[in-house]
Amino acid sequence: MLREADVIECEGEPVQLLDAWEAAEAAWVVDAVSSGATPGTVHRLDATQAELPRELFRSSTHAFGLAESIELARALDRLPARLVVFGIEGASFGAGEGLSTAVEEAAGRVEAAVREEVEKCTRRP
Amino acid sequence: MSRKRTKTIRTDFLARVEGEGAMLVKVRDGAVADVQLKIYEPPRFFEAFLRGRGFTEAPDITARICGICPVAYQMSAVQALEQVCGVEVGGQLRALRRLLYCGEWIESHALHVFMLHLPDFLGYDSAIEMARDQPELVQRALDLKKIGNEVMTVVGGREVHPINVKVGGFYRAPRAAELAPLVEKLARAREIALETVRLTAGLDFPDYSCDYELVSLSEPGEYPIDHGRIVSNRGLDIAVAEYDDHFVEEHVPWSNALHSTLRERGSYLVGPLARFALGFDRLSAGAQDAAKEAGLDPAERNPFRSIVVRAVEMVYAVEESLRLIAEYEEPDQPAIDVEPRAGVGYGATEAPRGVLYHRYEIDDEGTILNAKIVPPTSQNQKAIEDDLRRVVERFIDLPEPELSLRCEQTIRNYDPCISCATHFLTLEVERS
């Protein structure tokens, strides 16, 4: 059981994001992306080491997408010591309900990967 | 044989506007030959998507047109649907709606003033570059945006795409005790907003102005936000239901968004400059004082100074929020019952960017038969293009990179929400 980790569902609005990881030592962000890769492709990026490719995370109706919000946090020294982003390539972004099979399967893989990384982090002495 | 000189200024991706856009300006022999503002986002199909849906779904569906101004869509939608059903929401329910809307004005204006527009004036390529250099400035913006978000969360249930709004009122009215903690935060927001007026008033503004036809809502005794007739500085004064008799929309070949004009009059402007010009005397005392100190008066027609007007409107939205909270009494019911009836309803409210018009036709069972949504950015698009033309003519002798930047800055004067304007732009200047 993960005792030291919170799971937060977030709309992606920049203030919300910066507040969500404010006091965290590490954060993992999972988001949908649309880069043209095969639906269900999982992109794992270490945002602490390098800027996220903006074209991967550009779609946003908040003016500031995830990539911009992370750079803003970096400029304001408000990034956690460790920030990992998992981007799941979407299949369809039209109106409707439910996930496509490929995305649902990818979400399962990402969940397992995040869980493993968080467990490793929270078991540190 | 004379040789034509054509200069091209091209911006393939217009930064710091919400959504994506591009601009093309053609200059031939030193005169502007063509100006086009292009919208790249796929057309939005919300008007078609609403057909066949129940009228009670409209607030939740239309909120998703925009992540910056969802409340505006909800408020115009419920106004139109309540009108066709013969219901008027007043009293504390209306006050709550106005409070929710103030929250949106605060967060939207804070985002635009600091993160999208201020970098232009201070010589930064982006808010991120500005944040590296002046973190305290950007932190102020985030603090202000956060307070606006919190007002929206308390009243609307969620800061993005509020879930508490329904036709007839709300699913749940907040307790007074839930609003109380906002007071201290809004007091802090007021300080930041006043500082922002002073900051923006001291910026360098290009010497440019235009005699626009300015259009906004007008309601006696209050600054226009959620209700009113549609008026202009050239004598227009109509009920919202008469909108389609006076305003026309047309597709232009180079853009996914529609161009809106006043019938037989041409382009017009909605938004903060229009509201300020037409409703100045109904701003709160604090906002009026801040405006006067900043050297603004209702005759202001320099669109570059709209950043100062937005800062003044932030002061107003904060003061209005404090007033509404101070006068709040919990309503007996969170909503009025609304029974559908066949007909057409009309709604117009003031999104942060300007007048947002909705029209719905529903049947006896409340099924939406058709919908028309005219966002403020659509309405401003022709005025923006006209401004681009005049700005290029005015500053034609500037070196190309500076002229390009001036054009981008001109577009950002309007805080265009391109996500909203396509349900509906790259600066290319060809010089020859």
- Hey, what's the torsion of the CAs at B376, B381, B382, B384, to 10 degrees? 110
Q: Which of B164, B162, B171 is nearest to B64 (CA)?
A: B162
Whole-number pLDDT of residue B14: 54
Q: Please give the residue that has the higher pLDDT: either B69 or B288.
A: B288
Residues of A in contact with B68 (CB under 8 A): 61-63
Query: Residue B27 in contact with residue B41, Cβ under 8 Å?
Result: no
Residues B409 and B328 in one domain: no
**Residues B213-268: tens digit of each pLDDT:** 999 999 999 999 999 999 999 999 999 999 999 999 887 776 666 788 999 889 99
Residue A23 resides in a domain? yes
Whole-number pLDDT of residue B293: 97
Residues B235 and B360 in one domain: yes
Whole-number pLDDT of residue B105: 97
Task: Give the CATH number of the domain where residue A90 resides.
Answer: 3.40.50.1450
Residue B277 resides in a domain? yes
Where helices occur in chain A by DSSP H, the ranges are: 14-20, 66-75, 101-122
Whole-number pLDDT of residue B386: 87
Residue B188 resides in a domain? yes
Indicate left, alpha or beta for A91 from its phi (over 0: left) and psi (-120 to 50: alpha). Answer: alpha
Residue A3 resides in a domain? no
Domain count along chain A: 1
Residue A28 resides in a domain? yes
Q: Of B378, B403, B421, which residue is a domain's last?
A: B378
Domain count along chain B: 2
Please judge whether B128 and A75 are an interchain contact, meaning their C-beta atoms are less than 8 angstroms apart. Answer: yes
Residues B251 and B356 in one domain: yes
Q: Please give the residue that has the higher pLDDT: either B167 or B394.
A: B167
Please judge whether A19 and B146 are an interchain contact, meaning their C-beta atoms are less than 8 angstroms apart. Answer: yes
The Cα-based distances of A67 to B159, B183, B305 in angstroms read: 20, 33, 30
Please judge whether A63 and B116 are an interchain contact, meaning their C-beta atoms are less than 8 angstroms apart. Answer: yes
Residue A99 resides in a domain? yes
DSSP B17-42: SBS-EEEEEEEETTEEEEEEEEE-SP
Residues B31 and B70 in one domain: no
Pairing of strands B368-374, B354-362: antiparallel
Q: Measured between alpha carbons, how far is B47 from B68 in angstroms, rounded to an integer?
A: 19
Q: Which of B16, B207, B197, B42 is nearest to A68 (CA)?
A: B16
Residue A93 resides in a domain? yes
**Residues B9-54: tens digit of each pLDDT:** 665 555 555 555 677 777 787 778 888 776 544 335 688 889 999 9
Interface test with B, best of A61, A66, A70, A78 (most B CBs within 10 A): A61
- Distance from B377 to chain A by nearest Cα, in Å? 15
Residue B388 resides in a domain? no
Residues B33 and B136 in one domain: no
Residues B242 and B323 in one domain: yes
Whole-number pLDDT of residue B407: 82
The residue assigned the tokens 């239901």 is B241
Number of H helices and E strands in chain B, helices first, is 14, 14
- Mean pLDDT of all residues in B198-223: 95
Please judge whether B49 and A19 are an interchain contact, meaning their C-beta atoms are less than 8 angstroms apart. Answer: no
Enter the pTM of the model: 0.90
Residue A2 resides in a domain? no
Enclosing domain of residue A82: 14-122
- Mean pLDDT of all residues in A38-46: 95
Who contacts B181 (Cβ-Cβ below 8 Å, separation ≥6)? none
Residues B415 and B333 in one domain: no
Residues B297 and B413 in one domain: no
Residue A7 resides in a domain? no
Please judge whether B160 and A18 are an interchain contact, meaning their C-beta atoms are less than 8 angstroms apart. Answer: no
- Mean pLDDT of all residues in A88-96: 82
Enclosing domain of residue B24: 6-43+395-431
- Mean pLDDT of all residues in B138-148: 94
Residues B347 and B424 in one domain: no
Q: Measured between alpha carbons, how far is A9 from B133 in angstroms, rounded to an integer?
A: 32
